[in-house]
Structure 1
Amino acid sequence: MKSNSHFTKLLRIKLNAVLKAQPSLLPKGAACLLAVSGGQDSLCLAKIFQMQRSKFNWGLTIAHCDHQWRHDSRANAEHVEKIAKEWGISFCLRTATGSLTSEASAREWRYEMLVDMARESKSAYVVTGHTRSDRVETLLYNLMRGSGADGLASLTWQRSLTPEINLVRPLLQVSRHETAAFCQENNIVVWEDSTNQNLDYRRNRLRLETIPYLQTHFNPQLENAIAQTSELLQADVIYLEEKAQHFFVENVSVIWDATAPRLHRQHLQQQPLALQRRIARQFLSRYLIHQVNFEDIERFLNLLTAQNRSQSAPFKGQIFALVDHPWIVLQHQ
């Protein structure tokens, strides 16, 4: 390692501290699929995992998803494959064959492919290079969309992709400035994605214009402050989700049914509003064909005080909720 290795040492210390504080995040001997785009954050992730591989006895595979969005996407994939070979890490590639028309569809395809490659490589952990900077962007982006606490705390240390595969983000205490400096110290050639400068993408505008403005005019330590808020919210979200799940435990207040599932209205009324909303979301999420939003939840909860036989406006998929005292029932039109 070079003598000028301040950021390399710093990031190794940060990673070790995270894994010591959360030993179940990435246990020793874990098989890890590293999601690498070729940008500075993901290459920093891959290199630091290569450095720590022997210490933790990790099995490593680098995974790359080629969305076919840019004219240089194939060269980008070949660049990542070359680095994987130089670092002695196995490589997996998936290339999109259909049209990915939006950021949302690209993200959905990417995670499907990461799960597929994790199974192929027998990896129980998909590891991404999301940083503290990404966490700040996500919170601000979701705040402007009107998200609740779940959306504001959505970039968490880990979440389940399938019952056997976890997504892990071990660099959430690292800034984008630090990953850039790490790559420079280690002479890592970063692939510059031209779309990252395109202000037509709202997240790019947040990163390039909004956040620097807020740092200059409101709080130079904005990243630390917002990342701390996200961490605090996440603890609240975990607690409230667990409390909401208890409502269903004894199956007294719910009937899970393929054609007419129902919640006990009076039992739900006895819960605090914060739990009512979470219980309704957990219930609706099992049956609605789309991601449950605030309007869906409020439409359902309005029936708590409605007359018997009242019904809601339809949800997507021609499903509506009906008061059949003492239950609120979901039915197809």
Structure 2
Amino acid sequence: MTQWTPLHVKLHRTLRQRGLLLPGDRILIAVSGGQDSLCLAQLLLDLQPKWNWHLAIAHCDHQWRSDSTPNAKYVETLTNQWQLPFFLQTAGTEVPHTEAGAREWRYHALSATAQAEGYPTLVTGHTLSDRAETLLFNLIRGTGADGLQALSWDRQLTPKLRLVRPLLEVSRQETGRFCQQREITIWEDATNLDITYSRNRIRQELLPYLTQQFNPGVEQHLAQTAELLRADVEYLETQAGELLEQAKSQSEPIVKGEFTQMTQRINRRILETAPLALQRRALRQLLQQQLPKAPNYEQVEKMTALIQAPNKTQTDPFPGGAIARVEGDWIILSPERR
């Protein structure tokens, strides 16, 4: 029988307190071959007798490196030793060599595998350290509280697939120590050392500098900040959604024909009674529903300015051609007519 370590105890307690995984769940574990995902896989395998999970391993090969095929083979060999099902997704030439492009392909591939094979839960080895890095990455790019909340414990990828990150209270130092203690061979990804990637530069240079020069516990404190902001964002998003529905409640169709369903009327007199934070969030939610891609700061501000703008004011076109204008007490958001 496997001897439990403090990390086993921490994960077992986290899963119970947060309700992240349930007994008997069918769980697909994303394993890259690095220390975090291997640590997670071994921990879940050790806890499996107590939870009666049905576990499987998935690996995504981006084909970026000359050793990517041996890496995939190593994960498959390890999975066979664990006597678990193994699923491999290999990228074609369509995956761009960017962090965002690789992440988008990876989640698409993992989602497709999970749904095709009947695993409603996908787990990844994101850690406290990843949460701190993501907060810094988003802060540097420019973001609000939503970006700073940096990696949630769980979220729905599709109506039938839930993503869970069980290690958000575990540091990369802890996962490395666990793999060393259990003598788990880690497949080192050379691209993680390439500081042309922003996240790697944050990991290799910025966080060590902040740790040495400002605060030895900076990773922990950044992750705690992200956790506090997560609860704030959830509350504000709920309140903004209610405000938006209230502002739309008196709306009537004003355009006949093909544009009727896409045109929105928002009562700006209702919006102006709310705090600015809720005004922005409500109008951002509206734009998210209507535009082909997520609105940026400038686009949300253009909409918010209409709350106090003179009658007949209108914006320039948003992506996709939609235009917002003021008509009396109403903000009208409608598609561009052709």
In the superposition, the TM-score normalised over structure 1's length comes to 0.94
Where does structure 1 lack aligned partners over 5 or more consecutive residues? none
**Aligned pair partner of 1:263 in 263, 266, 269:** 266
* Partner in structure 1 of residue 323 of structure 2: 320
Amino acid in structure 1 at the alignment position of 2:222: I
- Partner of 1:50: helix, strand, or coil? helix
Instruction: Please tell me whether residue 40 in structure 1 is matched to residue 35 in structure 2.
Output: yes
User: Matched residues in 2 for 1:201 and 1:70: separation?
Assistant: 15
- % identity of equivalent residues: 48
Amino acid in structure 1 at the alignment position of 2:183: N
User: Matched residues in 2 for 1:205 and 1:199: separation?
Assistant: 5
Query: Residue 313 of structure 1 contacts residue 320 of structure 1 at CA under 8 Å; is this kept in 2?
Result: yes
Query: Residue 262 of structure 2 contacts residue 290 of structure 2 at CA under 8 Å; is this kept in 1?
Result: no
**Aligned pair partner of 2:24 in 17, 29, 42:** 29
**Deviation string, structure 1 residues 161-207 (Cα, Å, up to 9, x no partner):** 01121110000010101101111111111111000000100110100
Once the 2 structures are TM-superposed, how far is the Cα of residue 283 of structure 1 from its aligned partner?
A: 0.8
**Aligned pair partner of 1:304 in 303, 307, 310:** 307
With over 3 angstroms needed to count, the CA separation of the structure-2 counterparts of 1:249 and 1:9, relative to structure 1, is same
Once the 2 structures are TM-superposed, how far is the Cα of residue 254 of structure 1 from its aligned partner?
A: 5.7
* Partner in structure 2 of residue 135 of structure 1: 131
User: Matched residues in 2 for 1:119 and 1:39: separation?
Assistant: 24
* Partner in structure 1 of residue 256 of structure 2: none
Once the 2 structures are TM-superposed, how far is the Cα of residue 249 of structure 1 from its aligned partner?
A: 4.4
Once the 2 structures are TM-superposed, how far is the Cα of residue 100 of structure 1 from its aligned partner?
A: 1.7
Amino acid in structure 2 at the alignment position of 1:220: P
The 10-residue stretch of structure 1 (94-103 or 58-67) with the greater mean CA deviation from structure 2: 94-103
Query: Residue 27 of structure 2 contacts residue 56 of structure 2 at CA under 8 Å; is this kept in 1?
Result: yes
**Deviation string, structure 1 residues 298-332 (Cα, Å, up to 9, x no partner):** 01111111122211122112222111232212222
- Partner of 1:223: helix, strand, or coil? helix
User: Matched residues in 1 for 2:226 and 2:164: separation?
Assistant: 16
Query: Residue 145 of structure 2 contacts residue 233 of structure 2 at CA under 8 Å; is this kept in 1?
Result: yes
Instruction: Please tell me whether residue 230 in structure 1 is matched to residue 226 in structure 2.
Output: yes
Amino acid in structure 1 at the alignment position of 2:129: S
Amino acid in structure 2 at the alignment position of 1:113: A
Query: Residue 14 of structure 2 contacts residue 166 of structure 2 at CA under 8 Å; is this kept in 1?
Result: yes
Amino acid in structure 1 at the alignment position of 2:36: D
Query: Residue 244 of structure 2 contacts residue 283 of structure 2 at CA under 8 Å; is this kept in 1?
Result: no
* Partner in structure 2 of residue 166 of structure 1: 162
Query: Residue 36 of structure 1 contacts residue 80 of structure 1 at CA under 8 Å; is this kept in 2?
Result: yes
Matched length:
328
User: Matched residues in 2 for 1:40 and 1:279: separation?
Assistant: 41
**Deviation string, structure 1 residues 120-175 (Cα, Å, up to 9, x no partner):** 22111110000000000001111111211110003111111011211100000101
* Partner in structure 2 of residue 284 of structure 1: 287
Instruction: Please tell me whether residue 220 in structure 1 is matched to residue 216 in structure 2.
Output: yes
Runs of 4+ deviating beyond 6 Å? none
* Partner in structure 2 of residue 240 of structure 1: 236
